[in-house]
């Protein structure tokens, strides 16, 4: 289950783990104009952990989900001196 909310400066997606067995805490993904944050509560420490990704990292993550194991670079090769 998930929710999507459009706020003034961001889109917020909350992913809720459902089902049987061991469930994880909710994950909140917030997409800003220049970055994306991913947050999740650690129930052992009662602290929220946050990861900030650039838009380039998000683009690469999306591409990586559809590729086999390996090393990749998206875009043109760097120029040689």
Judged against a pLDDT cut of 70, whether residue 79 lies above it is answered with no
70 is a domain residue: no
Mean pLDDT to the nearest integer, 55-75 = 88
Chain segment 17-58, per-residue pLDDT in tens? 998 888 999 999 999 999 999 999 999 999 999 999 999 999
Q: What is the number of domains present in the chain?
A: 1
Does a structural domain hold residue 28? Answer: yes
Summarize the confidence of residues 65-69 as an average pLDDT: 86
Q: Name the residue range of residue 37's domain.
A: 2-17+24-64
Check residue 70 and give left, alpha or beta (phi > 0: left; psi -120 to 50: alpha): left
**Is residue 78 situated within a structural domain?**
no
List C-alpha distances in Å: 37 to 17, 66, 68: 19, 22, 26
> Which of 37, 26, 33, 25 lies closest to 3, judged by CA?
26
Average pLDDT over residues 2-21: 93
């Amino acid at each position: 289950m998930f929710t999507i909310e459009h706020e003034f400066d961001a889109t917020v997606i909350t992913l809720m783990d459902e089902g049987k067995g061991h469930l994880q805490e909710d994950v909140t993904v917030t997409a800003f104009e220049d970055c994306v944050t991913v947050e999740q509560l650690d129930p052992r420490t009662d602290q929220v952990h946050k990861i900030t990704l650039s838009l380039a990292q998000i683009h690469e993550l999306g591409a990586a989900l559809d590729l086999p194991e390996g090393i990749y670079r998206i875009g043109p090769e760097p120029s040689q001196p």
